[in-house]
């Protein structure tokens, strides 16, 4: 297991749609090591979420630091989102020292496969909903600065 280098703004992979994960590979030591590295990297960077493209891997997988600890969402899909929105500050490990307000749906339902390749569904509100949307955006080549309403700290390069 290792802490990997976080890819920063300007790297082309951050603007690309990541490739779906072949679920037959989820149990492989290589994929499981990737998940462990992602968790270690997120924790070392003091993040609450990390998408594979942020460590230069084009795969549809993200780590979410939930209440029970970190877990993977593989091939996630936003199934439902509320009409009600919330405006809150976001930052990103790939855009260090920059924060801004982003409006997002207040409630979402996300389907995904877990670390064992089993289908899951999560209905999320609050911070969890925001983190899931932020990480799913990463997997689709979208950064929070594309949705920011106002930069509140730092400046874009």
H or E segment to which residue 55 belongs: none
Q: Is 90 considered catalytic here?
A: no
Q: What is the DSSP string of 19-40?
A: BPP-GGGTTSHHHHHHHHHHHH
Of 89, 90, 115, 135, the catalytic one is: 135
For 103-121, give one letter per residue: b (16+ CB within 10 A) or e.
Answer: ebbbbbbbebbebebeebe
Main-chain phi, psi angles of 65, to 5 degrees: -95, 90
Q: How far is CA 152 from CA 59, 88, 91, 97, in A?
A: 31, 11, 10, 10
Main-chain phi, psi angles of 140, to 5 degrees: -110, 15
Q: Closest Cα to residue 77, out of 111, 118, 125? A: 111
* Active site amino acids: 135
């Amino acid at each position: 297991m290792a802490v990997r280098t976080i890819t920063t703004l300007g790297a082309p992979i951050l603007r690309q749609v990541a490739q779906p994960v072949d679920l037959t590979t989820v149990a492989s030591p290589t994929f499981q090591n990737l998940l462990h590295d992602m968790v270690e990297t997120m924790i070392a960077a003091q993040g609450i979420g990390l998408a594979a493209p942020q460590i230069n891997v084009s795969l549809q997988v993200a780590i979410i630091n939930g209440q029970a600890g970190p877990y993977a969402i593989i091939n996630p899909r936003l199934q439902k989102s509320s009409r009600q929105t919330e405006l809150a500050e976001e930052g990103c490990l790939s855009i260090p020292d920059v924060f801004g307000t982003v409006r997002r749906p207040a409630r979402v339902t996300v389907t995904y496969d877990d670390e064992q390749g089993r289908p899951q569904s999560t209905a999320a509100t609050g911070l969890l909903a925001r983190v899931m949307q932020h990480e799913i955006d990463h997997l689709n080549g979208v950064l929070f600065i594309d949705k920011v309403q106002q930069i509140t700290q730092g400046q874009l390069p």
